[in-house]
Amino acid sequence: MRDLLPYLRLYRQHWGSLSLGLLLALVTLIAGMGLLSLSGWFLSAAAVAGLSVFTRDHFNYMTPAGGVRFFSIIRTAGRWGERVVSHDATFRVLTRLRVWFWQRLSPLSSATLGRFRHSDLLNRLVADIDALDHVYLRLITPIGVALLGSLAMVGFLALFDRSLALILGAILLATLVVLPLLFYRLGKGPGKALIERRAALRTRVLDYLGAQAELQMFAAASAQLTRLREEEQALIASQRTMARITGLSAALMGLISGWSLVLMLWLAGHGVAGQAPDPFTALMVFATLASFEAMMPLAGAFQHLTASLTAARRLNQILEEATPLAFGEQESGAHGELVIEDLHFAYPGAAAPVLHGCSLTLRAGEKVALLGQTGCGKSTLLALLTREWEPSSGRLTLGGIPLANLSEPALRSAMTVVSQRVHLFSDTLRANLLLAAPEASDERLTEVLLQVGLGQLLEDDGLDGWLGEGGRALSGGELRRIGIARAILHDAPLWLLDEPTEGLDRQTEQTIMALLHELCTGRGVLLITHRLGGLERMDRIALMEEGKVRLCDSHANLLRQDDHYRRLHQRLAPA
């Protein structure tokens, strides 16, 4: 139950509406008990009164009939109010849970989140939090209502016959204790399997949909679809098992209710409180039947408890294993010279370090290209500069200030990243640009789009044009230009360009590089690449090999001094 404690604490923020829902459920239950008990007594009393003319004329039909109508109205109104209030409160709690979980998730670095698959994170954020609605709707409310309702019924029956009331109370107490424990044990394995298989199926579906192009290209769609169907059958098997347990709980509850009814009929058949058999016998019998209305949801509540605990445990796994990246408190001064000094770094569990002794200095306003083969550590260095990872040792400073001392807003405002993968949300052109500058006016957005050569995107719907999921209607060059437009809007003094022309044709690559050189005037630029196009325009070129910078000089000097660079340039440089 400790796994649920962080989430139960959030319930206190909505204790008013949750308590009102519990109260209305209790009122509904008591009204139902009163309706059934009074109806049983009324029918029996009316039948007895009708046996003689004297009793028939003196029997008060109006008051019991009014009581039946009263309980009927209260039960109907209470049920409606309980459904509205309870579900509204539950949805508010789930909303708060999602916001709270997202607030805990969003500060985590890519290094932390990288241990989890994106589809699995999405499933935990949506489906696992949804599973926690059982805690209130199927656990807290049924237990509270059953306990209070049973006490109310036993207290009411004690007014007529204390011994019969105690017998019924003992039966209800035993049911309240034994059945939840029994069905918690029965539902433990299937409940855990249900959550895990549902997560596995949703993860498989998201992977299958996201990789359609590759699956079709390599004719592997049928194999993946077969695995998907296997996951589906496993989930159906778990659901079938849970359905059997639900049926068993209903049957067992019906059996206990029936035998309790027979027992009370036999005991009350000799008379209530030592009196001769009369309509109060029917009251006792119908009251027993009504009492078990409160017990019906209990078995299902504890049957699904394991599912809620498993969902909570899966959420806690992320929160416990993930440690948010700590930022400093310095809010200004992050501009000027970027110094990378004797940097060492190894990924967790890796056999060898990626960076060992990497050093490089980027002066203010200088443009430096970091050139190296795939796997030499270029992207890792970028991840360290943006603080997605922390170096094992070494020093990273910007304007003489260690990056670790900067607050997150100060760090983000000091640099911007233009990567080979520009992510666009399924939203308008305006909304995708405002990510970089939330306060920018439409005039400024239009100006920047024209500046990067995307005026054609303004022809139809202008800034209200819908880009779609991932901007699939745009070409690779247009996507890169939107990334550059965001960088201009962000207006940071340091630009980190991570393979900005990767995957583009030669002509588009030259156009993008020319545009970058034009727009980066006065800004410090670190261009990470393994291609040689446009490097003659850079102030210096740093050659990176095996996790360290081997040589750093101008393009002309490298051609004269370094045989490896000269041969590489002769083979790969564009004509």
Query: Model confidence over 188-243: pLDDT tens digits?
Result: 888 888 888 888 888 888 888 878 878 888 888 888 888 889 888 998 998 898 88
Residue 574 has pLDDT above 60, yes or no: no
Q: What pLDDT does residue 457 have?
A: 83
Structural domains for the chain: 2-321 (1.20.1560.10), 338-572 (3.40.50.300)
Residue 503 has pLDDT above 70, yes or no: no
| Average pLDDT of the residues in 426-441 | 88
Characterize the bridge pairing of strands 494-498 and 415-419. parallel
Residue 12 has pLDDT above 70, yes or no: yes
Lowest mean pLDDT among 167-171, 400-404, 421-425, 510-514: 510-514
Of residues 345 and 4, the one with the higher pLDDT is 345
Q: What pLDDT does residue 350 have?
A: 75
Q: What pLDDT does residue 80 have?
A: 92
The CB density around residue 260, as the number of other CB atoms within 10 Å, is 20
Of residues 315 and 136, the one with the higher pLDDT is 315
From CA 423, how far away is CA 480, in angstroms rounded?
10
Q: What pLDDT does residue 295 have?
A: 80
Largest CA distance in the chain: 128
- Residue 322 pLDDT level (bands cut at 50, 70, 90): low
- Residue 143 pLDDT level (bands cut at 50, 70, 90): confident
Of residues 1 and 139, the one with the higher pLDDT is 139
Nearest in space to 418 (alpha carbons), one of 547, 531, 515: 515
Question: Is residue 506 within 8 Å of residue 574, measured between CB atoms?
Answer: yes
- Residue 47 pLDDT level (bands cut at 50, 70, 90): confident
Residues contacting 462, CB < 8 A, separation 6+: 429, 446
Q: What pLDDT does residue 308 have?
A: 77
Q: What pLDDT does residue 110 have?
A: 66
CA 335 to chain centre: 37
| Average pLDDT of the residues in 556-562 | 84
From CA 189, how far away is CA 195, in angstroms rounded?
10
Residue 347 has pLDDT above 60, yes or no: yes
- Residue 474 pLDDT level (bands cut at 50, 70, 90): confident
Lowest mean pLDDT among 198-202, 272-276, 498-502: 272-276
Indicate the average pLDDT of the chain.
81
Place of tokens 């446009």: 534
Q: Where are the alpha helices (DSSP H) in 211-304?
A: 212-217, 221-268, 279-291, 296-303
Residue 472 has pLDDT above 70, yes or no: no
From CA 463, how far away is CA 434, in angstroms rounded?
11
The CB density around residue 532, as the number of other CB atoms within 10 Å, is 19
Q: Is 152 exposed, middle or buried (0-12, 13-18, 19+ CB in 10 A)?
A: middle
